[in-house]
Structures are given as structure tokens and as C-alpha cells.
């Protein structure tokens, strides 16, 4: 699976589940910070990537650098799939 496919799926999930389907509310840089998503949202998102991509996110991988943007999350998932 390509990073772009992962990014597309994650972006779609965020838009549908946290932005009521309004893609315009997502920041241009794909940042999840601000008022896009809250702490429970991140947990939901991590649960989604685990189930959707068949990976396990360990406690020590729950880091800002893996979760703060859609691009970073997609890159993290790709690394996990490739590992």
C-alpha cells in the first residue's frame, strides 16, 4: 500500500468522523491540531488505523511526531506495514 493511499484513507476517516464530511474544515497542511480533533478523537483514530491497516500501535509509538498531521500518521502507518 502506498503512502498516498494510506493518507487518502486516513484523511477520509478524519473528514467523515470528525468534520461531519466537510473537507473544507481540514487544515491545508493536514494538521490534526487546533480544533480538528480532541484526545478521544486520537484514540478513535489510532483504533481505526489498527483495524483498517492491520497494525498494532504500541504505547511507545503514541508520540506527537506520529500523530500531529495526517501525513505523519500515514508515514507512520506505512513504516508499520513495512516493518
Partner 1 sequence: MASIEKRIISALLAKMRKRRGARMAPHGKLSVDSTAVVPPARLREALFSDFAAVAELKRRWGLGADSLENWERLWCRNPALVGSGVKRPIGWVLEANGAIVAYLGNISLQCRYGDRTLTAVTATAFVAEPPYRALAVTLAAAFYRQKSVDLFITSSAIEASGKIALAFKCAALPESDYDTVRFWVLRSYPFAQVLMNELRVSRLLLPIGSILAALAIRADTIIRRRWPRRSAIRLAVSEISLDDVGDDFQTLWTEKIKEKTRLYADRSAATLRWHFDIPGDRGRVRVLCCHKDGKLDGYAVVRSEVDPRAGLRTSTVADMIVRQDDPAVVHALLVAAYEHAKNEGSEIFQIQGFTCDVREVFSDWAPYQRKFPAHPYFYKATDPVLHRVLGDPKAWYACPFDGDASLVRPSYSSCDSHATFQRETESTQTVVAVVSESERTHVS
Give residues in contact with partner 1 (CB under 8 A).
25, 27, 29, 31-43, 46-47, 59-60, 62-65, 67-68
SS3 content of the chain, % helix, strand, coil (to 5): 65, 0, 35
Q: Closest separation between CB of residue 33 and partner 1, Å?
A: 4
Q: Closest separation between CB of residue 72 and partner 1, Å?
A: 9
Cβ burial, residue 38 (10 Å; 0-12/13-18/19+)? exposed
Q: Closest separation between CB of residue 75 and partner 1, Å?
A: 14
Amino acid at each position: 500500500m502506498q503512502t498516498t493511499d494510506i493518507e487518502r484513507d486516513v484523511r477520509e476517516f478524519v473528514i467523515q468522523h470528525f468534520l461531519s464530511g466537510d473537507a473544507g474544515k481540514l487544515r491545508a497542511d493536514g494538521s490534526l491540531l487546533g480544533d480538528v480533533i480532541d484526545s478521544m478523537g486520537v484514540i478513535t483514530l489510532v483504533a481505526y488505523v489498527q483495524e483498517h491497516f492491520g497494525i498494532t500501535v504500541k504505547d511507545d509509538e503514541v508520540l506527537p511526531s506520529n500523530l500531529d498531521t495526517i501525513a505523519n500518521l500515514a508515514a507512520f502507518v506505512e513504516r508499520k506495514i513495512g516493518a
